[in-house]
Structure 1
Amino acid sequence: MTIAATDEAVHVRAPGKVNLFMRVGEVQSDGYHDVATAYQAVSLYEDVRAWPDDEFSVTFGGSIDTSGLPTDASNLAVRAAKLLARTAGVPGGVHLEIEKHVPIAGGMGGGSADAAATLVACDAMWGTALSKEELHALAAKLGADVPFALSGGTAIGTGRGDRLNPALATGSFHWVLAVAEFGLSTPGVYRELDRRRREGPRLAAVEATPTVDTSVLQALRAGDPRLLADALHNDLQAAALGLAPGLGGILELGESHGALAGLVSGSGPTVAFLAEDADSALELQIALSAARLNVVHVHGPVHGARIMH
């Protein structure tokens, strides 16, 4: 069913994310892991514009190098558009123009944000009028981080990260992101984690069903960056540092220049530093820029994918 299809471009903005907390369960028979993660959507956005077209196509621009991104049917945004068209019985296609600012393969869910924004844009453009639940179900088929990019805010993700429960966060948290010049493959980081668990000393049993520590939820609810700094954790960090040892020096540098804490976001290699407030974040940004790091100051939580008028 289509309601009011449009011939104008639909512009949707979706946020990148930081994983404030990430615990990874044992590897399962299908090669996947159950995770427990706390996501926060931050003010680094992807902009997607969608035009009606006969075919499905995508072009990229923005503040980062997008030359290595696929523009064929394997692209996640194109897959999102095709999935929606198939589900809703839409005969036409779409031309997508994506302005990227979230680092590619950076552990910040940029591709997932593109897919979420595409679902919202095509839903509006084709007038498919899917419910929020139906859009979320499609998002979950596309990837673990896509449902969160739709909803935004702060949320606890379980299962593959796609089963979401909103988490109450008071106020605003300030992050300084050190963006690497290179990407890390998410499956590669998980494989390294599995290898370390197999070959390393058994320090602690891995939880079959991982959970997010209550200290994270309390810190978010209190809106207290110092409490949150103590609760930050990422099971993937050691594996990411193993594959990209230079990240260790970046973590030390940020923490020596006033960050309350730093951690690798998701599978990396973006390093997220939590600052006390906006002024501290600015000082940290200046210090890290002086060390020739590519840094950006963002705040969270922010809303998920939404149409811009």
Structure 2
Amino acid sequence: MTITVRAAAKFNLHLGVGPVREDGFHPLATVYQAIGLYDDVTVSEAAEWQVTLTAEDHIALGEIPTGDDNIVVRAGRAIAAHHGIDKAAKVAIHKGIPVAGGLAGGSADAAATLVALDRLWALETSDEDLLSLAGQLGSDVPFALIGATAIGGGRGEIVEPVTDNGSWWWVAVGNEQGLSTPAVYRAFDELAGTEIGDPQVPESLLMALEKGDASLLAEALTNDLQAPALALRPDLAQTFADGAEAGALAVQLSGSGPTVLMLCRDAAHAREVAGAMQAKAYDRVWTAPGPVAGAHVVTY
């Protein structure tokens, strides 16, 4: 028996970052949106943990571990320990989410693994317990379970759905050179200094989502990690300029980068912007709708 669960990439419509805490983490105020780039995770019974990887075109797999340090193995062991069972599984991941791109593909895989093993082993884990396990695995994993559009607090792991009446379209432009999240946060600390307060979610963004107005959303997109990321990778500024020239309503870095997201009016406009970026010799270009569902079973 196999179970396949699909989980989506995330984009931070807003990413507000506060001063580093004593535990080394930064408080966040973020608005997540799940967008239509997906990883599929298929689990089956096995005597020991196994991880296999395949991917769509233009997605490199070299940086993903397949041993015990893969987040899906940690997810599997966490849900087994939670139920007091001694089980293992084979986990086959097919990636459609760019790797190390600021789109939380690893978190999506962890969320999908929790759901898939819950079904495979007929554990009937409560939603509350699944979210608790997800929060132990990483800041973005609880949102990957829920999907749609939501506010994230704490380190991002406290998730609250928000009203989103929009039907949004995005163009995602990947970059073959990764960008270290810890390095971006260090650069943020250096640039921000000590004169920053606790982050807040802007009301203008929540209003844009409630109204479903793309022009209002374009004005409300913000990412506090964008400036430090561009300081580390000034070459990405050209992608921003090319996106604006291609007609995107707004251009923003996804998380800590290096993937760049471009807001479009509708599906036709997204195809136009994607075509313009491809004409400029970008070879990692995807169109994606949002919001989409969180981790969900697609086959039994």
Provide TM-score, normalisation by structure 2.
0.97
**Aligned positions, number:** 296
Which of the numbers 255, 258, 264 marks the counterpart of 1:275?
264
Which of the numbers 42, 49, 56 marks the counterpart of 2:42?
49
Is 1:9 paired with 2:30? Answer: no
Which of the numbers 116, 141, 149 marks the counterpart of 1:121?
116
Structure 2 counterpart SS, 1:33: coil
Is 1:306 paired with 2:282? Answer: no
**Alignment-derived partner of residue 99 in structure 2:** 104
Once residues 197 and 171 of structure 1 are traced to their aligned partners in structure 2, the CA distance between those partners, rounded to angstroms, is 33
CA contact (8 A) 1:90 1:126 kept: no
**Alignment-derived partner of residue 3 in structure 1:** none
Instruction: Report the AA paired with residue 238 of structure 1.
Output: A
Instruction: Report the AA paired with residue 129 of structure 1.
Output: E
Is 1:227 paired with 2:222? Answer: no
Is 1:242 paired with 2:231? Answer: yes
Q: Percent identity?
A: 46
Is 1:65 paired with 2:60? Answer: yes
Which of the numbers 112, 134, 147 marks the counterpart of 1:139?
134
Any runs of at least 4 consecutive aligned residues in structure 1 with deviations exceeding 3 A, and if so which?
A: none
Shift of 1:67: 2.4
**Alignment-derived partner of residue 286 in structure 2:** 296
Q: What do the CA deviations read for 1:252-304 (whole angstroms, capped 9, x no partner)? A: 11011110110001010000000111111111000000111121000100000
Instruction: Report the AA paired with residue 56 of structure 1.
Output: W
Shift of 1:56: 1.1
**Alignment-derived partner of residue 265 in structure 1:** 254
Once residues 142 and 84 of structure 1 are traced to their aligned partners in structure 2, the CA distance between those partners, rounded to angstroms, is 11
Q: What do the CA deviations read for 1:206-250 (whole angstroms, capped 9, x no partner)? A: 12x211100010000111111000000000001110111111110
Is 1:26 paired with 2:16? Answer: no
Once residues 97 and 243 of structure 1 are traced to their aligned partners in structure 2, the CA distance between those partners, rounded to angstroms, is 34
Shift of 1:197: 2.1
Shift of 1:68: 2.4
Which of the numbers 229, 238, 244 marks the counterpart of 1:255?
244
Q: What do the CA deviations read for 1:5-60 (whole angstroms, capped 9, x no partner)? A: xxx11000000011111110001111110000110000000000000111111110
Once residues 51 and 90 of structure 1 are traced to their aligned partners in structure 2, the CA distance between those partners, rounded to angstroms, is 16
Structure 2 counterpart SS, 1:27: coil
Q: What do the CA deviations read for 1:35-93 (whole angstroms, capped 9, x no partner)? A: 00110000000000000111111110011221221111111111000111111112220
Query: Any stretches of 5+ residues in structure 2 without a counterpart?
Result: none
Once residues 132 and 148 of structure 2 are traced to their aligned partners in structure 1, the CA distance between those partners, rounded to angstroms, is 19
Query: Any stretches of 5+ residues in structure 1 without a counterpart?
Result: 1-7
Is 1:160 paired with 2:155? Answer: yes
Once residues 217 and 243 of structure 1 are traced to their aligned partners in structure 2, the CA distance between those partners, rounded to angstroms, is 30
Instruction: Report the AA paired with residue 178 of structure 1.
Output: V
Once residues 192 and 101 of structure 1 are traced to their aligned partners in structure 2, the CA distance between those partners, rounded to angstroms, is 29
